[in-house]
């Protein structure tokens, strides 16, 4: 699990401009440990992020593009929304 988690943090770091060499602890603190609300709608899952100074970097990375259906989430696409 640790190897898998480290790989996920490395992938996230590569997606975010200026964070390609960031440590997992820094990525967690700035991006993963973010408040918000998850809303499950009939046709999609919407993640509403709380307002944070790093949201523009997440928006720029377009982590939810392309919107692919996820089998273990009832094949619903995941959409990110920022304030």
Domain extent at residue 55? 35-83
Does pTM top 0.85 for this prediction?
Answer: no
d(CA 17, CA 20): 7
> 28 and 13: one domain?
yes
Alpha helices by DSSP H, listed for the chain, are: 2-15, 24-27, 55-61
> 11 and 23: one domain?
yes
Q: Yes or no: say if 8 and 41 are a contact pair by the CB < 8 Å rule.
A: no
Number of domains comprising the chain? 2
Give the pLDDT of the chain (83 residues) as one tens digit per residue: 889 999 999 999 999 999 999 999 999 998 888 889 999 999 999 999 998 888 888 888 888 787 777 899 889 998 888 88
> 39 and 25: one domain?
no
> 52 and 77: one domain?
yes
d(CA 12, CA 2): 15
Neighbours of 1 (CB within 10 A): 5
> 69 and 41: one domain?
yes
> 50 and 82: one domain?
yes
> 83 and 44: one domain?
yes
> 2 and 26: one domain?
yes
């Amino acid at each position: 699990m640790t190897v898998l988690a480290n790989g996920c943090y490395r992938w996230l770091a590569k997606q975010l401009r200026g964070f390609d060499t960031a440590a997992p602890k820094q990525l967690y603190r700035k991006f993963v440990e973010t408040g918000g609300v998850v809303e499950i709608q009939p046709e999609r899952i919407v993640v509403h992020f709380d307002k944070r100074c790093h949201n523009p970097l997440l928006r720029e990375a377009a982590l939810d593009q392309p919107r692919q259906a996820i089998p273990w989430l009832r094949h619903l696409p995941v959409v990110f929304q920022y304030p």
